[in-house]
Amino acid sequence: MAKPDLTIGLIGTGFMGRAHAFGFAAAPRVFELPMEIRLKSVADVTEEAAARAASAFGFERSTADWRSLIDDPEIDVIDITAPNALHKEMALAAIAASKHVYCEKPLAPLAADALEMAEAAEAAGVKTQVGFNYLCNPMFTLAREMIAAGDLGEIRGYRGLHCEDYMADPDAPWTFRHDPAGGGALADIGSHALATAEFLLGPIARVMGDCRTLIGERPDGRGGRRKVEVDDIARAFLTFESGVTGSIEANWLATGRTMQHDFEVYSSKGAIAFSGERLNELHVFSSADGPGRTGFRRIEAGPAHPPYGLFCVAPGHQLGFNDLKAIEVAGYVTAIAGLSDEPFGFRKGARIQTLVETILASSAAGAWRDVPG
């Protein structure tokens, strides 16, 4: 009963490439995966970088030509952690070669491109995944289950945040994240806040945005300055299809915040509060606790919250950021094996881009907008 192999070709070896490599190494140690992950080949822009990554990440081979991974019949999955602007070309090529595609977020800078990718994948029948790893947190699953089970009664309000401070320094250089085509705080981290909002409460129907540029130019890396037109802070009012209303904020200038991926859900029977600064805790309030005994309850992640127990048999010992990547990988491998739905496929990735663009358009118009699709 040997498991079938699942061979990986990784494109890109930066922060997220490393995180994926960690996920591929850790997932089989934690989960009983239905397939055997084989790290076949890794591509980067130079032979040296690729070779270094192959050694560091445990891949068999390396190449400076990402197209060679596409052409390689020994590779089942193309994993894209290259710059955002290249995602579409790479993914479409991989899909055309009938390979499964795992792509870091954002799926593509523009929603139309992301949708094209999703449709191509569906037409080709390949399995896809976009790296929204925060959704893999067992505490998110708990929150969603409590909401879905009606433990909270009728949902009445939502607040979501994703604020960090990695762009707070005005002398930090212009990067692809500042490119008007797909850049900005809303696209980069607001996308997480939007994914979480829909994960918990279902589709968003209407939005009203307020997107602001504060640092109007940045060093261009060649001694000059380059104009920045993307949002540094983006706020949005949300109306969900269910009628629930809420808000999100994305802010990459939030000095002092490193992982303020927070949400609060209020309802007729209770409330849920989460902060990404303490990713192993869910704070739950239940009116049923009785007079003088109510309070927000700090639930610590434990074996009662799958798949935590596969990482550690004891509660409260805490998962880390990289563990969420291992959960993401396991979910994708299980989907490829046909044992579950895609956890967060290209269709969902495109959806997030659509939300981002609708909020930006709403902000520009100063008016509410319906979310297409």
Interactions with a copy of itself, residue window 38-97 (CB under 8 A) = 56-58
Of the candidates 266, 236, 268, the one whose C-alpha atom is nearest the C-alpha of residue 359 is 236
CB of 162 to a copy of itself, least distance (A): 12
Considering only residues 351 through 370, tell me which ones interact with a copy of itself, judged by CB under 8 A. Answer: 366-368
Q: How far apart are CA 28 and CA 118, in angstroms?
A: 28
CB of 56 to a copy of itself, least distance (A): 7
Instruction: Give the x-and-dash track for 210-249 against a copy of itself (CB under 8 A).
Output: x-x-x-----------------xx-x-x-------x-x-x
List all residues 6 or more positions away from 56 whose beta carbon is below 8 Å from its beta carbon.
Answer: 18, 21
CB of 108 to a copy of itself, least distance (A): 23
Considering only residues 138 through 167, tell me which ones interact with a copy of itself, judged by CB under 8 A. Answer: 142, 156-157, 159, 163-164, 166
The angle formed by the CA atoms of residues 270, 273 and 277, to the nearest 5 degrees, is: 170
Residue pointed to by tokens 């994926």: 20
State how beta strands 61-63 and 155-163 pair: unpaired
> Which residue, 24 or 346, has its beta carbon nearer to a copy of itself?
24
**β-sheet with 369-370: strand ranges across:** 281-286, 270-275, 260-267, 155-163, 245-251, 233-240, 204-212, 369-370
Instruction: Give the residue, chosen from 113, 198, 323, 342, that forms a contact with a copy of itself under the rule CB under 8 A.
Output: 323
Query: Cβ of 18: how many Cβ atoms within 10 Å?
Result: 17
Of the candidates 245, 250, 290, 285, the one whose C-alpha atom is nearest the C-alpha of residue 269 is 285
CA trace torsion 354, 184, 116, 203 (10° rounding): -20
Q: Does 116 bind a copy of itself (CB under 8 A)?
A: no
> Which residue, 157 or 372, has its beta carbon nearer to a copy of itself?
157
Question: Hey, what amino acid is at 170?
Answer: P
Of the candidates 132, 85, 77, the one whose C-alpha atom is nearest the C-alpha of residue 109 is 85
Note whether 246 and 160 are within 8 A (CB): yes
> Which residue, 187 or 272, has its beta carbon nearer to a copy of itself?
272
> Which residue, 30 or 93, has its beta carbon nearer to a copy of itself?
30
Note whether 39 and 8 are within 8 A (CB): yes
> Which residue, 184 or 270, has its beta carbon nearer to a copy of itself?
270
Considering only residues 185 through 214, tell me which ones interact with a copy of itself, judged by CB under 8 A. Answer: 208, 210, 212, 214
Q: Does 175 bind a copy of itself (CB under 8 A)?
A: no
Instruction: Give the residue, chosen from 93, 124, 312, 361, that forms a contact with a copy of itself under the rule CB under 8 A.
Output: 312
Instruction: Give the residue, chosen from 268, 339, 341, 364, that forms a contact with a copy of itself under the rule CB under 8 A.
Output: 268
Query: Cβ of 291: how many Cβ atoms within 10 Å?
Result: 6
> Which residue, 69 or 152, has its beta carbon nearer to a copy of itself?
152
Note whether 190 and 261 are within 8 A (CB): no
Q: Does 334 bind a copy of itself (CB under 8 A)?
A: no
> Which residue, 68 or 322, has its beta carbon nearer to a copy of itself?
322
Interface with a copy of itself by CB under 8 A: which range of 100-108, 218-226, 285-293, 333-341? 285-293
Q: Does 15 bind a copy of itself (CB under 8 A)?
A: yes
> Which residue, 108 or 265, has its beta carbon nearer to a copy of itself?
265
Of the candidates 251, 158, 167, the one whose C-alpha atom is nearest the C-alpha of residue 211 is 251
DSSP 1: -
Please, which residues bridge with residue 369 across strands? 207
Of the candidates 32, 8, 31, the one whose C-alpha atom is nearest the C-alpha of residue 20 is 8
> Which residue, 98 or 316, has its beta carbon nearer to a copy of itself?
316
CB of 96 to a copy of itself, least distance (A): 31
Q: Does 256 bind a copy of itself (CB under 8 A)?
A: yes
Question: Hey, what amino acid is at 209?
Answer: G
Interface with a copy of itself by CB under 8 A: which range of 67-75, 120-128, 220-228, 318-326? 318-326
Considering only residues 290 through 309, tell me which ones interact with a copy of itself, judged by CB under 8 A. Answer: 291-300, 302, 304-305
CB of 252 to a copy of itself, least distance (A): 11
